[in-house]
């Protein structure tokens, strides 16, 4: 898979004779499995069949240890799981031919679910739908909603993968609560509108630099995406910021973001802090020289160089820490809420500049503000924007296309969301 190759390693903890006495199974197959330096595809199938035939035998992990080894590095990839180790190693091995991030993600989620498995005294494969819903709530106490969605996606895929193997080796599959639909068990997270004054006086003023500028940058239209290579926030460098103006190198070209004098104070302070601390926010001795080519968003502990751009997960974690400190609710601040709040603030300011009030009923004027937003936030290509403008013009002249582009749909969605906000403000 990818850069490395992996294989299963078996270790007999008690001796072959004692092992055969405890597990009533074909002796020739057992001997082959336990004594072979590597397994053929047929022998691997027999191993799955043996382990899952004995899944309820609590002595299994005492008599045999299964691990996954990275052949290229000649080291163990997955540590021994505290419970259900043999079963989990085989479940994890189903992902060994996938991408590196998928394999690591599956490895982590099999560890993350252990506390809940211990509470229920059963493997996650045996969870009912009600228990899966309990697990969702359990995860939400520790992780963001989007992270929980990802973890559920992994667990669902692992369940599907192991069921396919069990079918191939002649065993019954698990008729459990996991399914493709389970991947969407986490409800769409609530959008909490953050007003500009709240951003300045409650978040920027009260939370330490440089993390406090994360909400500011997202509010001003800097994107955070699942794929780190497309995440604008992760790739901002100190040289991109000069005299209260930030150059964002977006997917559809460079754009400028200008900061107010008050915002500039916080940006200047954050970057000055980075230069002083050497990027080490935990006061570690292992500092680096922060230069104009350094990322604005640095890890709190610098372990290796060159320093990679921060992942979405790290940014989510920092937002959770800010939300816990300021609001006492780790889920209150998320990038969707902040980004949406920034969009609505931009639209209202655009209308205020032109009409003297944000409370404008003319929908065509609102849609012009939204198209200005799309350009300012670098959300779409010029081609998409031109198509969206044409479709909106057709809409107002009763020439509706059957196909509605993403810009057209986004315009309608933001228009409806803004209407809800204005109704709430005017109540």
User: Above 50 in pLDDT, residue 25?
Assistant: yes
Mean pLDDT, residues 44-62 taken together = 81
pLDDT more than 90, % of the chain = 31
Instruction: For residue range 304-348, list pLDDT tens digits in order.
Output: 677 889 988 889 989 989 999 998 888 888 899 999 999 999 999
266 pLDDT band, cuts 50/70/90, is very high
Most confident of 103-107, 153-157, 233-237, 318-322: 233-237
33: number of CA atoms within 13 Å, CB side?
27
Report in angstroms the alpha-carbon separations of 375 from 281, 342, 347, 371.
35, 14, 12, 7
Give pTM, 2 decimals. Answer: 0.61
Instruction: For residue range 392-415, list pLDDT tens digits in order.
Output: 777 665 555 545 678 888 888 888
Instruction: For residue range 187-236, list pLDDT tens digits in order.
Output: 455 678 899 999 999 999 988 878 999 999 999 999 999 888 889 999 99
How many angstroms from the chain centroid is the CA of residue 398? 41
Cα–Cα distance, 136 to 125 (Å, whole number): 15
Most confident of 19-33, 125-139, 248-262, 327-341: 248-262
Residue 19: the pLDDT is: 66
Cα angle for residues 255, 257, 261 (degrees, 5° grid)? 160
Cα–Cα distance, 220 to 236 (Å, whole number): 14
Cα–Cα distance, 75 to 410 (Å, whole number): 49
């Amino acid at each position: 898979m990818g850069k490395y190759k992996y294989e299963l390693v078996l270790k007999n903890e008690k001796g072959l004779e004692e092992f055969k006495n405890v597990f009533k199974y074909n002796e020739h197959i057992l001997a082959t499995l336990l004594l072979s330096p590597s397994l053929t595809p047929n022998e691997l199938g027999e191993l799955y069949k043996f382990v899952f035939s004995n899944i309820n035998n609590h002595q299994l992990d005492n008599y045999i240890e299964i691990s996954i080894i990275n052949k290229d590095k000649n080291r163990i990839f997955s540590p021994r799981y505290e419970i259900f180790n043999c079963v989990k190693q085989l479940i994890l091995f189903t992902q060994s031919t996938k991408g590196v991030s998928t394999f690591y993600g599956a490895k982590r989620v099999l560890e993350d679910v252990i506390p809940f498995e211990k509470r229920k005294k059963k493997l996650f494969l045996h969870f009912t739908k009600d228990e899966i819903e309990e697990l969702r709530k359990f995860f939400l106490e520790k992780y963001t909603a989007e992270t929980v969605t990802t973890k559920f996606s992994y667990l669902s895929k692992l369940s599907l993968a192991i069921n396919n193997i069990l079918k191939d080796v002649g065993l019954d599959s698990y008729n459990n609560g996991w399914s493709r639909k389970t991947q969407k068990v986490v409800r769409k997270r609530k959008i909490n509108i953050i007003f500009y004054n709240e951003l300045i006086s409650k978040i920027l003023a009260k939370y330490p630099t440089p993390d406090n500028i994360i909400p500011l940058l997202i509010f001003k239209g800097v994107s955070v995406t699942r794929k780190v290579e497309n995440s604008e926030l992760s790739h901002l460098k100190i040289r991109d910021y000069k005299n209260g103006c930030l150059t964002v190198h977006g997917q559809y070209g460079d754009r400028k973001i200008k900061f107010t004098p008050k915002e500039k104070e916080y940006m200047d302070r954050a970057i000055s802090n980075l230069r002083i601390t050497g990027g080490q926010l935990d006061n570690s001795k292992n500092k680096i020289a922060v230069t104009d080519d350094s990322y604005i968003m640095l890890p709190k502990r610098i372990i290796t160089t060159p320093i990679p751009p921060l992942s979405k997960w790290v940014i989510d974690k920092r937002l959770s820490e800010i939300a816990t400190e300021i609001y006492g609710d780790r889920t209150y601040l998320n990038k969707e809420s902040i980004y949406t709040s920034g969009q609505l603030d931009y639209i209202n300011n655009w209308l205020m500049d032109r009409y003297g009030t944000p409370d404008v009923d003319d929908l065509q004027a609102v849609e012009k503000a939204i198209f200005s937003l799309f350009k300012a936030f670098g959300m779409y290509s010029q081609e998409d924007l031109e198509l969206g403008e044409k479709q909106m013009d057709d809409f107002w002249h009763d020439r509706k296309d059957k196909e509605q582009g993403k810009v057209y749909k986004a315009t309608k969605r933001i228009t409806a969301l803004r209407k809800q906000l204005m109704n709430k403000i005017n109540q």
